[in-house]
Amino acid sequence: MSAVLPISARRAGLVLLGMVLVVGSFATAGPRAALLMLVGLGLGLVLEGLRFGFAGPWRVMVTERDGRGLLAQFLAIGLTALVAFPLLATFPEELTGAHAPVGVAMIAFAFVFGAMMQIVMGCGSGTLVNAGSGNLLALVALFGFIAGSFFGTLHLPWWTGLGSLPVYTLQGLFGNGAGLGVTLFGLAGLSTLVYSRSAPEKRRIPRRLWLAAVLIAALALLNLVIAGQSWGVVYGLGLWGAKFAQAAGMDVAASTFWSSSGHAVRLQQSVLTDVTSLTNIGLLAGAFLAMRWKPSPDPQVAALSATSWGLVLLAGVIMGYSARVALGCNVGAFFSGVSTGSLHGWVWFVAAFAGSYAGLQLRPRLMRAAAVSRGMATGGQGS
């Protein structure tokens, strides 16, 4: 395409594609759907265009003592919390945070998720963004993620039955003002730890990531204000899996999860009425627009052995399954959970980071050495 079309014509086409998505959402599902599609597009553009990610910064913190990306994550979460806490306190009838219980399975599967995201080099949002930006490895992982998060819904009631605490929020434990203070204090403490553990030349957040953190926080807050709920990713992917399973003849509606009232409605209705599906679609499309906007795209990942491709697909399935049972991924549990005061967000982060460390040890053993040294190094942002 780039060999035929001048870049100005291609970019005009990309703008048109973005407009088609927004106007199409408006025409089929109403103005809120259009706004959420815009938010998703914005997230995709920022994540891909400014290379803000989750899995990659966790990896380089461990392997290269590069704390810049992780510090930018804490910054974005803190900025979001600064506005989200007062909003949630002032409008409790209209807005809800990403609050979930801490449980045995939640902790175990957050660990597994962390490990798997280092195998596929992307978390929930990262897999969508990387797939949209043309990363073949991420696209394969995305198919697995969709299947895995759907399988996770089928077993979620059993896993949560193993034991969970009540839902604890920092607002509930300390009050609204103090809850925000504890959140910011915790983020500052983690930032200090990361800063002190980083190599001296890799501890100052670059301007690109400052900008990305501010934009991500703004878009996450827009998501909260427009949808009434925090930014999430995994639910939409599980719903997509359910739709495909239903189309294949499976009686999805008979399962415990999908027969419960709220989820049954989502299964019956179009994905264009589902908040996370809309932002997920926008995320993927936004990453595509950012990738095609460049004069020339980044190189594709290197070819892997058939076994390694199979492992990437399997890791995607496990990642989707574990994200569902862990009640969220880096976005729904960590970013949105912590920024809206959920205790489970903090526990999720500790468990997933430990799992990420384990995944980094496991990865070279799973992937063929040649693939690891060549293909993954050019495998995209590793968001």
Q: Which amino acid is at 245?
A: A
Letters for 182-221 (x = contact with another protein by CB under 8 A, - = none) are: ----------------------------------------
| 237-256 positions binding another protein, by CB under 8 A | 238-240, 243-244, 246-247
Question: Does an H or E element contain 38, and which?
Answer: helix 31-49
Asked if 132 touches another protein (CB under 8 A), the answer is yes
Q: Pick the closer one to another protein by CB: 91 or 185.
A: 91
Q: 234 or 313: whose CB is closer to another protein? A: 234
Residue in the structure block whose two tokens are 């807005």: 95
Among 337, 355, 359, 382, binds another protein (CB under 8 A): 337
Residues 275-314, mask of contacts with another protein (x by CB under 8 A): xx----x--xx-xx--xx----xxxxxxx-----------
Residue among 276 and 383 whose Cβ is closer to another protein: 276
| Nearest CB to another protein, comparing residues 334 and 357 | 334
CA distance 198 to 206: 14
Nearer to another protein, 82 or 87 (CB): 87
40 binds another protein (CB under 8 A): no
CB of 200 to another protein, least distance (A): 31
Residue whose structure tokens are 């980071």: 353
Q: Who contacts 171 (Cβ-Cβ below 8 Å, separation ≥6)?
A: 85, 88, 89, 179, 180, 341
> Based on CB atoms, which residue is closest to another protein, 225 or 354?
225
Query: Stretches 168-176, 200-208, 356-364, 372-380: which one binds another protein (CB under 8 A)?
Result: 372-380
- Rounded Cα–Cα distance for residues 337 and 101 (Å): 11
- Judged by CB under 8 A, the residue of 28, 305, 307, 361 near another protein is 28
- Smallest CA-to-CA distance from 328 within 314, 349, 358 is with 349
Closest CA to 312 of 381, 371, 234: 371
Instruction: Compute the distance between CA of residue 308 and CA of residue 229 in angstroms, rounded to an integer.
Output: 38
Return d(Cα 115, Cα 326) in angstroms, integer.
Answer: 13
Looking at residues 139 to 168 of the shown chain, list those that interact with another protein (rule: CB under 8 A): 139, 142, 156-157, 160, 164
Window contacting another protein (CB under 8 A); options: 180-188, 212-220, 259-267, 353-361? 259-267
For the beta carbon of residue 260, count every other beta carbon within 10 angstroms.
11
What CA–CA distance (Å, rounded) separates 238 from 136? 21
Rg of the chain over Cα atoms, rounded to whole angstroms, equals 20
- Identified binder of another protein from the candidate list 14, 82, 108, 225, rule CB under 8 A: 225
Question: Should residue 39 be labelled a site residue for another protein when binding is judged by CB under 8 A?
Answer: no
> Whose Cβ is closer to another protein: residue 203's or residue 374's?
374
DSSP 8-state secondary structure symbol assigned to residue 133: T
Residue among 30 and 206 whose Cβ is closer to another protein: 30
Q: Strand, coil or helix: what is 294?
A: coil
Residue from 228, 314, 358, 368 that binds another protein (CB under 8 A)? 228
Least distance to another protein, CB of residue 296, Å: 10
DSSP class of 254: G
Q: What are phi and psi of 66, to 5 degrees?
A: -105, 105
CA pair distance 179, 170, nearest whole angstrom:
5
